[in-house]
Structure 1
Amino acid sequence: MVVKREEAGRKAKIVRLAADKGKKLILVSLAGLIWIQPVALVEPFGITSSTAYAAENKATRLGEENITSGAKLVKYQYTTTRSGKQVKVLADVIEVDLSNPYVQLDVMTGKAGQLTTRQSVEGMAQENGAVAGVNGDFFQTGGQGVAMGAAISQGTLVTSPSKLQGMFTFGVKSDNTPVIDRYDFTGSVLAEDGSTFPLSGINQESYKTEPESAFSHVNNMFIYTSAWKSEERPKASGTTPTEVLVQGGVIQQISHQSAIPGPVPSDGYILRGHGQAADYIVTHMTVGQRVDSTYRLVSQTSGQEVNPSDFKMMIGGHTLLVDQGKGSSFTRPTNSISGGSAVARTAVGYSQDGKKAYIITIEKNNSSSGLTLAELQKFMTSIGVWKGINLDGGGSTTMVTRPLAETAAKLTFTTSNGAAGQRAVANGLGVYTIAPQGALKGLKVSGASTLLIGQTVAYTLKGYDTYYNPVDAAGIQATWKSDNGNIAWTGEGFKGVKAGTSKITAVSGDGKDSMEVTVLGGSDLSSLTPVTTFASLEAGTSVSVPVTAKLKNGNTVNVPDESVKWEFTGMKASVQNGVLSVQSVNNGAKVAYATPKYDGFSGTPIVLSASSEQVWENFENASYPVSFTGLPAEVTGTAAIVQGTGEREKSKVLKLDYDLTGGSGNKFAYAQINGTTGKTIPEGATSMAVDVLGDGSLNWLRAEFADADGKSIYVDLARPLDFTGWKTLTVDLTASAIKHPAKLKRLYIVNLEDGQDERALTGSVSFDNIRFTAPVTGGEPGLPSTTVVMVAGQKSMTIDGKKQNLDAAPLIKDGTTYVPIKYVLDAYGGQAAWNKTAKKITVTSGTTVLELTVGKKEFMLNGTAKQAAVSPIISSNRTLVPLRLVSEQLGITVNWEKKTKTITLQS
């Protein structure tokens, strides 16, 4: 861009460099691990072969879907040979028709379109309204999050290219012509006295130039616009700035040897100089004078000057990958970006006729192994790329696309960081549509692709227009049907009837669409686990029992109440709306079990046993730290274990003093228990009691727990705190469905903004004798005093001298004794359940629940995974378990007589 001088009545015209209102600003990113140091060679580095590619390098088109008019997602499977083995890799390519007037490319930037902020690609796409996008330029992961390459958005140069060798950019000119080239930045500042000083860049982070290895901001002048979010311009530059604030074309402020406080104003810009540049500012600039600036890009290939306003967009990248339809030489070292390793990759290129852009990602996840840069070159040429460059890859590689008939772009595939692991990056390349509203073209069924037996799921019918953009389908009336009996239409949705796959179809007039839905069966599950592990065994007990299932594909699903059947032992009970209620306890039963079942798959039982109230903390000998925190930061106070007063003068209490007068909005004063960690509460706690010295403040008093997943659970102790003196508060924990093991993290005061003037802002509360009512799990009901004798290879045993026949003899294999567990449990109390589908044995005895699976060394003990040396086996169609493993968990002593091969069990 050239900012020209005008001589009509003044020496210089000041040009505002900040973007116009409504114009997207761009972020530039220097990806992951790029080298910022001198490069020995400017030209080809690490040459790749241009010979014909081997036949085994093949890209197979798996399918495609329109994103919008002029853009579609094409999925490939690329087959290559690596280390002598054939490897199949998944690739996702957005093909953009640059001749289509309704589709555009542009740069997406961090948050709110500003530099020095980072955001996920999905977040940027949704914020900017992009229908698709990928991560963009390389950035210093330890820096401020600003790309090292040039960034142009809608003709505005937001970030100039860094002075680094071999770094290419991709751009689209105003006539929709794609360009891949290397660019330098050149510019100057013209003072009112007619003197000039060169500009070194716009909105750049500090770095070392190549090949000089000079510090970028030493003796140089840069422009920073309101596109730069951070108040540090830049961070860690090793230089002391002299800054000039320009607004309305006139110098408003000059700060010598220090930065101007605050961000760059939206109606101005800041000139930042150091050394010689600072001296120039001191000598030639004065507040009230005018300034003129000229800057442009220069092609390193042709030497031609480039006006940024001639470009719709430009984004920086790394090495050139493809040129003239062939793999090119690398234009800078690639070992710092794992060039020779198979990782996730992102690239962009265009076709020979210049009418098609290819936005490319290579997956690295459980389904795909990624590509080396050399392999990526071959893939790109195989799909028609004429010229292309590498963008940031590895953990940054992310693609989002808007599914047909949907309103927002979503993650296209699982990143190498996992399903929820989108990396926050500095910028991205977005695809946008400017198509008008078209006529309804087609329909699409939308909803869950899997459901459970007994579960009813609603499905919706969505529409898309002639430009493949979503349309409002609220008024579309449809008829729904299934092609078989696996699922059934209920009038409000489809209900899972039995395991299997079905095709559901919606018909509206002449339009219709179908999708496949799978009803999951017991064979699809690897575990079925209620959130509650223990509960109290007494009539009237009521406890929340939501159930989760882990599928064999690794996914976890919440199982709807209607999909679970329950089996009860030792009691009469029922489960309604996810709540287990005990009606009565069987005579003589000290322990009972509630076992969830799904399509023949037995889950982990809930153990119910006698409960007691346990003193969890009386603060007499607490050895962990207690501390105070406040929110907002202006909230002050103290939290400490101190000697009580009055009726508690002989005991210690936890005292929380608070002052909520500072700050605004909702206010909180916390007594932190054991730092930020918390302290473990009894397993299966059903209620909590605590003695509280109230202050009558009318604030709320709460407890915060952290469950096994780290989720915070909030429980109100008093709402409001309307009493003074000591009072025992008791709260029910069952409705909170706390997943154990859980911890109590803090006790605290809540003062909400609404009605704040009606409650006290200062006060003091104390806590003592925190108790939990929980099942007694530490002391097992005593095993009967019994002696059992078995002999390896014999189908009989004796119980206290009485002989009993066995249907399978004990077996010794590889030094391990295996027995039919049923007979052991008959003698000592307990039972074993066999799940034929899952090949799983569930042993229950007292409060112990042991789950063992044939062929697996991992076993579950009271819902916790453990590892054994051996696993259960099947011999002569009988399931045998490792005797010592089971006996140790049940508290039975095992003696082995080698000479007679006699096994003696005693309790």
Structure 2
Amino acid sequence: MARSGGRARVRTGAAAAAALGVLGGALAGATGARADSGGMPYDRVERLAHGVSYGEFTVTAHGAAVHGDVLTVDLRDPRVGVDLLTPGAVAARATVSGMADARHAVGAVNGDFFNISEEHPGVAPTGSSDGPEISSGRALKAAVPDAQRFGPAMPPGGSTQDVIGVGADRRARLDRLVLHGVLRTDRGSTALGGFNQYALPAGGIGAYTAGWGAVSRERAVCGSDTSRAAPCSTDTYEVAVRRGRVVAVADAPGQGPIASGTTVLVGRDGGADTLRALHVGDRALVGERLAPTSSRVPYVFAAGGFPVLRDGEPLPGLDAKTAATRTAAGFGDHGRTLYLLALDGAAETGAGLTVAELAAVMRQIGADDAVNLDGGGSTTLVARAPGDPAVTVRNHPSGGAERPVANAVGVFAGGS
């Protein structure tokens, strides 16, 4: 099936040339189906639904064959949609196939890096993602401090606030989502440092809602602004607010479900001092929103990931040494065509692609802008063939089976 993709262009820049030099022989020698636009030769292309196709390709890098799986989504088709898939709570994990089937998606790839492990004794990992999340137009969480993120090193200038998203105008974009949150009391206003996120900045206050889930909020006060492994703060305080009034206080972060309509404020260090001034019955108003820095169009969906390709050029400083299993999302055709990519690899053998090579491959399939998503054992791409009741895993997860992850990018199609 023909795909809608970005226009073929001449790539420039040392990083792109170097990455394509490694892959060039394989790309030039590959055979099979080829998209109408873009330069990637596909071994196989399958139509999943109106405006959605699945493709497979193989490249050779570092002496090994690397298999790739791609979902191509035509956002101009009104029957097609994209949204963030979640396990039902910010602090939770589920398989990509499970999340896709729960929402009847036609395809999906895993999303952002997440709090998968813990350096702090006795503190359980939350499973929550690094970056912001918007699902069905609703903000679910904000970004953790850069030093507290999980995942490989970002290129210079990268931030946990970086996202890929699709706006209400059905165009994909790269952007940053910044938390604008405030606590207002009779003593004045205080800016929030977090919203449903697993780590708070030193001295900060974070707001947690029912969307967080039942996992302990203790992880929020661990680490520092320079080290994820720094000790947990012992100077903490927690306040529950409902209908504009303080209804409960505690000396330490709690756990368990948060009732709908209730916001729990967690403070560490200076933020704890601010919360200690509040007492049950005091007036307290909490507001939070995610503000884009590049677009005025509201986002229907957004997921965290660090940019690797912008305006057809790889970002400076991309890792060109470490080959690994990779996941990426990007777009071409002025945001009208979305590409979701899963690349196989194996940590044990060094198979896979570097981040610089990933940027080159995304450019090859037609993307002008792209982000790196969670890779390794998290890399999963699923798709549902016409008439099938459920999705199947199309790539080869490096761990041999799907890993439960924090979120996924889901594709939906009507009349398939």
Q: In which range does the TM-score fall when normalised by the shorter chain? A: 0.7 to 0.9
> Superposed, which structure 2 residues align to 1:346-385 within 5 Å?
346-364=327-345, 369-385=351-367
Separation of aligned partners in 2, 1:390 and 1:231: 27
Code of the aligned partner of 1:62: D
Separation of aligned partners in 2, 1:284 and 1:195: 12
Q: After TM superposition, give the deviation of residue 428 of structure 1 in Å.
A: 1.2
For 1:312, the equivalent position in structure 2 comes to: 300
Q: After TM superposition, give the deviation of residue 175 of structure 1 in Å.
A: 0.8
Contact 1:48 1:327 in 2 (8 A): no
For 1:275, the equivalent position in structure 2 comes to: 269
- Give deviations 1:216-253, integer Å, cap 9, x for gaps: 35321101011112341132622343222223x23252
For 2:152, the equivalent position in structure 1 comes to: none
Contact 1:48 1:330 in 2 (8 A): no
Separation of aligned partners in 2, 1:292 and 1:255: 16
Contact 2:181 2:288 in 1 (8 A): yes
Separation of aligned partners in 2, 1:294 and 1:342: 39
Separation of aligned partners in 2, 1:139 and 1:400: 20
Contact 1:219 1:274 in 2 (8 A): yes
Q: After TM superposition, give the deviation of residue 388 of structure 1 in Å.
A: 0.4
Separation of aligned partners in 1, 2:255 and 2:351: 48
Contact 1:133 1:431 in 2 (8 A): yes
Code of the aligned partner of 1:91: G
- Give deviations 1:734-793, integer Å, cap 9, x for gaps: xxxxxxxxxxxxxxxxxxxxxxxxxxxxxxxxxxxxxxxxxxxxxxxxxxxxxxxxxxxx
For 1:431, the equivalent position in structure 2 comes to: 411
Provide TM-score, normalisation by structure 1. Answer: 0.37
Change (3 A) 1:225 1:280: same
For 2:308, the equivalent position in structure 1 comes to: 321
For 1:166, the equivalent position in structure 2 comes to: 158
Code of the aligned partner of 2:335: G
For 2:15, the equivalent position in structure 1 comes to: 49
For 1:246, the equivalent position in structure 2 comes to: 241
Pick from 139, 155, 171 the counterpart of residue 114 of structure 2: 139
User: 1:63 aligned to 2:51?
Assistant: no
Contact 2:249 2:279 in 1 (8 A): no
- Give deviations 1:594-638, integer Å, cap 9, x for gaps: xxxxxxxxxxxxxxxxxxxxxxxxxxxxxxxxxxxxxxxxxxxxx
Pick from 178, 187, 194 the counterpart of residue 184 of structure 1: 178
Change (3 A) 1:371 1:260: closer
Code of the aligned partner of 2:388: E
Change (3 A) 1:217 1:133: same
Contact 2:115 2:198 in 1 (8 A): no
Q: Which runs of 5+ in 1 are unaligned?
A: 1-46, 207-215, 436-466, 469-907
- Give deviations 1:858-881, integer Å, cap 9, x for gaps: xxxxxxxxxxxxxxxxxxxxxxxx
For 2:209, the equivalent position in structure 1 comes to: 225
Name which structure has the greater RCO, CA cutoff 8 Å, separation 6+: 2
For 2:96, the equivalent position in structure 1 comes to: 121
State percent identity of aligned pairs.
28
Contact 1:65 1:404 in 2 (8 A): no
Change (3 A) 1:294 1:341: closer
Code of the aligned partner of 1:76: F
Contact 2:96 2:108 in 1 (8 A): yes
Change (3 A) 1:269 1:295: same
Q: After TM superposition, give the deviation of residue 392 of structure 1 in Å.
A: 0.7
Code of the aligned partner of 1:92: D
Separation of aligned partners in 2, 1:369 and 1:218: 39
Code of the aligned partner of 1:324: D
Secondary structure at the counterpart of residue 371 of structure 2: strand
Code of the aligned partner of 1:388: A
For 1:397, the equivalent position in structure 2 comes to: 379
Q: Which runs of 5+ in 2 are unaligned?
A: 1-12, 28-39, 118-124, 147-156, 223-231
> Superposed, which structure 2 residues align to 1:679-698 within 5 Å?
none
Code of the aligned partner of 2:158: G
- RMSD of equivalent CA atoms: 2.6
Code of the aligned partner of 2:92: T
Q: After TM superposition, give the deviation of residue 180 of structure 1 in Å.
A: 0.8
Contact 1:321 1:330 in 2 (8 A): no
User: 1:102 aligned to 2:79?
Assistant: yes
Separation of aligned partners in 2, 1:348 and 1:171: 10
Separation of aligned partners in 1, 2:256 and 2:67: 47
Separation of aligned partners in 2, 1:66 and 1:50: 30
Separation of aligned partners in 2, 1:274 and 1:102: 47
Pick from 398, 403, 422 the counterpart of residue 402 of structure 2: 422
Pick from 400, 406, 415 the counterpart of residue 388 of structure 2: 406
Separation of aligned partners in 2, 1:324 and 1:358: 15
User: 1:265 aligned to 2:265?
Assistant: no
Separation of aligned partners in 1, 2:65 and 2:396: 17
Change (3 A) 1:296 1:121: closer
For 2:32, the equivalent position in structure 1 comes to: none
Code of the aligned partner of 1:311: Y
Secondary structure at the counterpart of residue 350 of structure 1: strand
Change (3 A) 1:397 1:261: closer
For 1:152, the equivalent position in structure 2 comes to: 134
Contact 1:197 1:277 in 2 (8 A): no
Contact 2:246 2:284 in 1 (8 A): no
Q: After TM superposition, give the deviation of residue 343 of structure 1 in Å.
A: 2.2
Contact 1:148 1:161 in 2 (8 A): yes
Secondary structure at the counterpart of residue 361 of structure 1: strand
Secondary structure at the counterpart of residue 274 of structure 2: helix
Q: After TM superposition, give the deviation of residue 269 of structure 1 in Å.
A: 1.8
Change (3 A) 1:194 1:71: farther
Contact 1:346 1:361 in 2 (8 A): yes
Code of the aligned partner of 1:114: A
Contact 1:60 1:78 in 2 (8 A): no
Change (3 A) 1:157 1:48: farther
Contact 1:172 1:312 in 2 (8 A): yes
Provide TM-score, normalisation by structure 2. Answer: 0.78
Separation of aligned partners in 1, 2:14 and 2:144: 26
Separation of aligned partners in 2, 1:321 and 1:118: 26
* Bigger helix share: 2
For 1:474, the equivalent position in structure 2 comes to: none
Contact 1:244 1:251 in 2 (8 A): no
Q: After TM superposition, give the deviation of residue 382 of structure 1 in Å.
A: 1.2
> Superposed, which structure 2 residues align to 1:280-299 within 5 Å?
280-283=274-277, 286-287=280-281, 289-299=283-293
* Bigger strand share: 1
Separation of aligned partners in 1, 2:292 and 2:166: 16
Code of the aligned partner of 1:97: D
Q: Which has the larger radius of gyration?
A: 1
Separation of aligned partners in 1, 2:280 and 2:270: 17
Pick from 181, 186, 198 the counterpart of residue 205 of structure 1: 198
Contact 1:95 1:359 in 2 (8 A): yes
Secondary structure at the counterpart of residue 208 of structure 2: strand
Change (3 A) 1:88 1:220: same
Contact 1:348 1:359 in 2 (8 A): yes
For 1:196, the equivalent position in structure 2 comes to: 189
Secondary structure at the counterpart of residue 395 of structure 1: helix
Q: After TM superposition, give the deviation of residue 286 of structure 1 in Å.
A: 4.5
Work out the number of aligned pairs and report it: 357
